[in-house]
Amino acid sequence: MDLDQYLEKGLIHLEQVDPAELSPGEFIHRIRRGVEEKRWRIVVIDSLNGLLNAMSEEQGLSVQLHELLAYLNQVGVASFLVMAQYGLLGGAMVSPIDVSYLADNVLLLRYFEALGEVRQAISVVKRRSGPHERSIREMQLTTGRLVIGEPLKNFAGVLTGTPEYRGGQNLL
C-alpha cells in the first residue's frame, strides 16, 4: 500500500521505534502526546514483541499496556496491537505474553499447509460485543487486496498448522 500521499498530508504518522533506545514509559508518553496534540484517532503498535523485549518483566508490560489501552479507550482512540507468536506451524506456537484480556477483539492469523502450499487462515477468537464470526477462513494478500475466503468447513486442525482434509473434491 502506497502511504506516501497520506504521510505527506499528515493523515498518517509512521514512526519506527528501536525499543533498545526508548523505554516503555517514553514510548507510551509519545503515544499520549500524539493523541493529545495531534489528535490521533487510531493507534497501531506493531509489534508488542519489540516492546516486550525492551522490558525485563512481563508483569510491568501488562500493567503499562492496561493503563495505555484504558486511556486510549477513554478518549475514543481505536487501538490495534500486533503480536507475533513464536514458531511457525503446529501446536508448538506460543505467545510471549497473554494480553488477550486487554482486548475487545482478537484476530488470529495462522499459516497452514494444504495441497503442498503454505496458506494463511484468519479467525476471530474473541469478540466482547456484537455477533461473533466463528468460522476459520482462508486469507490471501494479493496486490492491493485482502481476500477473505469462504469458511474452511472441510478441514479440521487448521489452527494447528497441520490440517486434515475431510471433505469431498470441492477444495479451496
DSSP per-residue string spanning 69-102: HHHHHHTT-EEEEE-PPBSSSSTT-B-SS--GGG
Pair (8, 87) in one structural domain: yes
pLDDT tens for each residue of 16-64: 887 777 777 888 899 999 999 999 999 998 877 777 776 655 456 677 8
Q: Look at the chain and report how many structural domains it folds into.
A: 2
Pair (7, 66) in one structural domain: yes
pTM of the model: 0.74
Pair (36, 98) in one structural domain: yes
Pair (90, 139) in one structural domain: no
Pair (109, 70) in one structural domain: no
Pair (30, 86) in one structural domain: yes
Q: What's 128's DSSP letter?
A: S
Grid cell locating 95: 505467545
Q: The domain spanning residue 59 has which CATH number?
A: 3.40.50.300
Structural domain for 129, as ranges: 104-172
pLDDT tens for each residue of 142-166: 888 899 999 988 888 887 767 787 8
